[in-house]
Structure 1
Amino acid sequence: MTEQNIIRKITDTVNNSVGFKVFTIFMLILVLMIPGAMIQSMIWERNSRKEGAVREISSKWGEKQTVSGPVITIPYKEYYEDDKGKIKYSIHYIHFLPDDIDIKGQVFPEIRYRGIYQAVLYNSKIEIAGSFPQMPLEEINIPPENIIWSGAYVCLGMSDMSGIRDQIDAKLGKMPVTLNPGIESSDVMASGVSTKIPLRQNSGKLLFQFSLNLNGSGQLFFVPLGKMNTVSLSSSWSSPSFDGAFLPEQRQIDDKGFKAKWKVLHLNRNYPQVWKSKHQTESSAFGVNFFVPVDLYQKTTRTAKYSLMFIVFTFMSFFFSEVMNKERLHPIQYLFVGLALTVFYALLLSISEHLNFDIAYIISGAAVITLITGYSISILKKRKLSLMVGGILFILYGYLYFVLQMEDYALLMGSIGLFAALSIVMYMTRKIDWYLLKLDSRDN
């Protein structure tokens, strides 16, 4: 036997080896994970671009809004002795929270577009009423002569001041007051409006009332600073998401919009009614998110996570077709099929940005199934096997669409589907003698 014949025999043995073929397919799957990762990166980039467009729209209308307060803040002097023995003082603030806060709001949402991207904006009419108790000076342990009564003010917090559309109608007691932008102390809230109030040591109960015309986008939250807090919201938005530290105790959602009511006690949060330090009151905020029900980037990301499974099952279909048909397939042909499967996600992403996600899924799936089935007819030489491959792809894409619709049960349905597919493969191949199997078309 010549050296050339030996090399040819070794080459034929390797080429006809099932193990080598499986190894080659495995390496191709690893290679195809690269374009899969590129697709994931493209989805992330498009989602980032969408978020940038939403921020741009919101910045000109009003960002997410968090309303907090009102709060009475009084400055006081705290004396200390410096290094040289001189008596000096620094200004600190003490904060008094209301006894009760009652908020009633009506929200008017709308969708604005920037190119192909959309953002949910809203205008809200908010009425805030309640009362402050008599100043509990016995709780603060500050000498009365150190309190700067002339510096007392009431503040109302808003996270984005650019959303204020009209002058805020405000009353303290029976007297209308004018609110000014800015807050001296950021111990309770970072931004908002305030006004000086004539307080005395024996000041009694103080009623308040505020009327806001406030623009925002995406989210409207409230901070429960009262001993008793009630918030009632209504809107024509039919897909709200109640979020934050507390959920509404009553809610009604239908096609015409929603109504929701919260009731929060001071015992439900982790800060007192009177304090002299800084507290993170935002951690107790609650409210509603206004979001678009179908997030195509989230759905496309979930779809792309199944790309490896699609490649594996499709390659298995071609491999078993190759085994049964005794028609050799080149690794390049496997690679073309894998790239066609990867292109599905690029098609889905690009089409769904302009059409409904379901329609985009049908168009993309039909295009890829048609492409691979037609290619299979050419390389497998048998229409029956090619249609079988197309049928498997149709079942895979159909089942994936079914899983995507069941967000809460997606893991369960996906696991059942994988188990069923593996069971079918094991049953169909139970009589194959893998040791004797060769991929040589001359071997019967």
Structure 2
Amino acid sequence: MENQNNLFEKMSNWLKNSVMLKLLTITILMLLLLIPSAMINDVIRERQSLQQEAIAEVSSKWANSQEINGPILTIPLLYEHEKEGKMVETVVYHYLLPQNLTINGKLKPQKLNRGIYDVVVYDSDLNVNGTFNMNISFDENHLKEIQYEKAFLTIGFSDLRGIGNNINFKWGDESLKVESGSKIADLISSGITIYPKNIASKNDLNIDFNFSVALQGSQDLTFVPVGGTTQVNLQSEWPSPSFMGNFLPKNRDINETGFNADWNVLELNRNYPQSWSGRSMKDKMDASAFGVNLLNEVDDYKKAQRSAKYSVMTIALTFLVFFLVEVINKKRIHPFQYILVGLALCLFYILLVSISEHSNFNLAYAISTFGIVGMISFYALYIIKARKLVIILILTLIGIYGFVYVTLQLADYSLLIGSIGLAVILGLTMYFTRKIDWYNLQTAKQNKMVEAEGN
């Protein structure tokens, strides 16, 4: 019976003091803490989704992103051919794009609020002018009639609600009436239509056109380069534009007071011709669009999401410090205490997201860091009961959060900084544990216990 009790005591002592078992327990705890980490990422995505819903709701009442396409001159062609002994007439649309197109615009951005979310919208004043070369060639095989009197111009606006003025379209010396709606839905789904006069009499001529439009939109403003040469100039007071689409500006000037950008796109730069009949070029035209996105200066959710990716590293390094305290200084820490520390580390990201929704991200990061580091440090002071070791823990946590913060700020170099940081951390761990005899660690513990019992 006494031998059996001794066996249970030895087993109990081994369970309490086994280094490998402690490592296994800590690893299992880290894996379990991945569950709240994943839940935190879900919360961040949910808040991000709510932000997108707020943007969509405000945009639906103001005006959505705008894309300008055109003007495109459409001339109906009447073809006649024989089918089953009968003459059949077919109307085919011939599309003509301007020889050159110039757009000068000023964007006036502003922020609208929906709850706690900011939505970027804009007013714009655009002046559009160009030239059509009316020297047009058609496929004359079975061509019966060129219906010049039914020709029309189409200008595409992706959201007609954003048009803020009655458009005065100048065609040569004439001012033409503008009608809402597109007659070439397979090419331009939303837009306005203009009916030019006396097209037939203007063959072999260059006809100038001009119009101005006050256009509202949200976030994006893009253009389809329909001109043989398309030149666009945009000016705005917005300091953080993101140039998007198939072409970047040839020249740009961005500073704290705003930006000025110039695009120059040639016919040879895009994958559709200046004129064609019948088939739709919509996909190719949409693919050639370019423009600007008025980014909100701070996308806190993306930063929070990126910082949460380092949660595993933060938990692992913090647990490593506690484990080394146990090994080197013989301070036993219960698994439940590891769990509390891990949950505190996870709480950092919830604090970061919730505070950043109402303040600056940098301030939210500082407050969250101070709160969590302070909480863990005070708790560790009672667990470890050694100020020097607590100071080392504080410096470690500050170093971890500082490292993550620097990585967030230098997004382009995050991989480089991350790999160097991890290499430094591994090197420091190897340095501080270089004198530990891991094989004899358990034996040393047991000998000390025997000595204590003998005394």
Q: Which amino acid aligns with 2:397?
A: L
Matched, 1:321 2:322: no
The Cα of 1:144 is off from its aligned counterpart by: 4.5
**Cα shift readout 1:237-291 (whole Å, capped 9, x = no counterpart):** 1111111111111111222211111111100000001112111201111111111
Tell me which residue corresponds to 1:188: 187
The Cα of 1:205 is off from its aligned counterpart by: 2.3
Matched, 1:424 2:428: yes
Q: Which amino acid aligns with 1:147?
A: I
Distance in 1 between the 2:193 and 2:336 partners? 72
Q: Which amino acid aligns with 2:36?
A: P
Tell me which residue corresponds to 1:134: 134
Tell me which residue corresponds to 2:152: 153
**Cα shift readout 1:105-162 (whole Å, capped 9, x = no counterpart):** 1111111111110111111110110111014124x44555243323210011111111
| Correspondences of 1:240-389 after superposition (within 5 Å) | 240-276=241-277, 277-279=279-281, 280=283, 281-389=285-393
Distance in 1 between the 2:87 and 2:15 partners? 94
The Cα of 1:91 is off from its aligned counterpart by: 3.2
Tell me which residue corresponds to 1:167: 166
Change over 3 Å in CA distance of 1:80–1:46 after alignment to 2: farther
Verify the 8 A CA contact 2:79 2:142 in the aligned structure 1. Answer: no
Tell me which residue corresponds to 1:433: 437
The Cα of 1:2 is off from its aligned counterpart by: 3.1
Matched, 1:113 2:108: no
Distance in 2 between the 1:166 and 1:341 partners? 55
Distance in 2 between the 1:79 and 1:127 partners? 42
Q: Which amino acid aligns with 2:124?
A: S
Verify the 8 A CA contact 2:79 2:143 in the aligned structure 1. Answer: no
Verify the 8 A CA contact 1:325 1:380 in the aligned structure 2. Answer: no
Tell me which residue corresponds to 1:69: 70
The Cα of 1:295 is off from its aligned counterpart by: 0.5
Unpaired runs of at least 5, structure 1: none
Distance in 1 between the 2:99 and 2:119 partners? 37
Change over 3 Å in CA distance of 1:6–1:249 after alignment to 2: same
TM value normalised by structure 2: 0.93
Q: Which amino acid aligns with 1:183?
A: S
**Cα shift readout 1:76-115 (whole Å, capped 9, x = no counterpart):** 3345666x66543443311001100011111111111111
Verify the 8 A CA contact 1:135 1:201 in the aligned structure 2. Answer: no
Change over 3 Å in CA distance of 1:288–1:2 after alignment to 2: same
Tell me which residue corresponds to 2:101: 101
Distance in 2 between the 1:378 and 1:275 partners? 81
Verify the 8 A CA contact 1:328 1:440 in the aligned structure 2. Answer: no
Matched, 1:215 2:216: yes
Distance in 2 between the 1:208 and 1:36 partners? 59
Tell me which residue corresponds to 2:123: 123
Classify the secondary structure of the residue corresponding to 1:180.
Answer: strand
Change over 3 Å in CA distance of 1:193–1:52 after alignment to 2: same
Classify the secondary structure of the residue corresponding to 2:439.
Answer: coil
Q: Which amino acid aligns with 1:130?
A: G
Distance in 2 between the 1:86 and 1:10 partners? 102
TM value normalised by structure 1: 0.95
Matched, 1:401 2:401: no
Distance in 1 between the 2:414 and 2:221 partners? 31
Change over 3 Å in CA distance of 1:194–1:142 after alignment to 2: farther
Verify the 8 A CA contact 2:80 2:142 in the aligned structure 1. Answer: no
Verify the 8 A CA contact 2:81 2:142 in the aligned structure 1. Answer: no
The Cα of 1:187 is off from its aligned counterpart by: 3.9
Classify the secondary structure of the residue corresponding to 1:145.
Answer: strand
**Cα shift readout 1:377-404 (whole Å, capped 9, x = no counterpart):** 1111222212211111011111211221
The Cα of 1:11 is off from its aligned counterpart by: 2.8
Which piece of structure 1 moves more, 12-21 or 172-181?
A: 12-21
Tell me which residue corresponds to 1:15: 16
| Correspondences of 1:190-209 after superposition (within 5 Å) | 190-198=189-197, 199-200=199-200, 203=203, 204-209=205-210
Verify the 8 A CA contact 2:77 2:143 in the aligned structure 1. Answer: no
Q: Which amino acid aligns with 2:96?
A: F
Classify the secondary structure of the residue corresponding to 2:280.
Answer: coil
Change over 3 Å in CA distance of 1:64–1:286 after alignment to 2: same
Which piece of structure 1 moves more, 377-386 or 363-372?
A: 377-386
- Structure 1 vs Structure 2: percent identity of aligned residues? 42
Aligned length: 442
Change over 3 Å in CA distance of 1:85–1:19 after alignment to 2: farther
